[in-house]
Amino acid sequence: MEEGLMAEPHSRVRDAAKARGLEIEIRERPAANSLPEAAALLGVPPSGIVKTLVVKRSDGSYLFALVPGGRSISWPKLRAVVGVNKLRLPDAGLALEATGYERGTITPIGSSTDWPVFADQTITGQRVAMGAGTHGFSAFVDADELIRAYGATVADITVPED
């Protein structure tokens, strides 16, 4: 029974990608202790590991922010691009409710709701690894194709991490 539950998020991700003409590869992700170690294990540069952050607007709706490894959201930049004065990260329960995915597995691909996607401009032009809907797995996708498939807004929305 547990095995079937593990497969469901993968099928959601695969089915959603296929429906949008998006080619993805889902691979098991070994545990890592740092961003450089994770990147080496996955065979991508650190900037090629893209976090999908769920961001809540003051009206109760959400958006996805695609943030490359080694960078974090610049709240002033993201607010300016979105055109709002207030944004925040919801707690884990609200993120799960908004997407159908647990934190650490979130991806716009197959989310229970198609929230708008905002991608940091630095992810373009490369193959990236991101959440695959299940802990311990990554989805590999061409960032430009992901942006196209989801009509993502590409902008400068991050800053280097300290």
Q: What is the 3-state secondary structure (H, E, C) of the chain?
A: CHHHHHHHHHHHHHHHHHHCCCCEEEEECCCCCCHHHHHHHHCCCHHHEEEEEEEEECCCCEEEEEEECCEEECHHHHHHHHCCCCEECCCHHHHHHHHCCCCCCCCCCCCCCCCCEEEEHHHCCCEEEEECCCCCEEEEEEHHHHHHHHCCEEECCEEECC
CA distance 110 to 12: 5
pLDDT of residue 1: 33
Tens of pLDDT along 138-152?
999 999 999 999 999
Count of structural domains within the chain: 1
Has residue 108 got a pLDDT over 80? yes
pLDDT of residue 109: 97
pLDDT of residue 8: 59
Average pLDDT, the chain: 93
Best CA proximity match to 26, nearest among 156, 158, 137, 155: 137
Mean pLDDT calculated for residue range 61-87:
97
Higher pLDDT, 14 or 6: 14
Domain interval for residue 26: 2-160
Query: Model confidence at 9, in pLDDT bands (50, 70, 90)?
Result: low
Has residue 157 got a pLDDT over 60? yes
In this structure, what CATH number is given to the domain that contains residue 53? Answer: 3.90.960.10
pTM: 0.92
Has residue 16 got a pLDDT over 50? yes
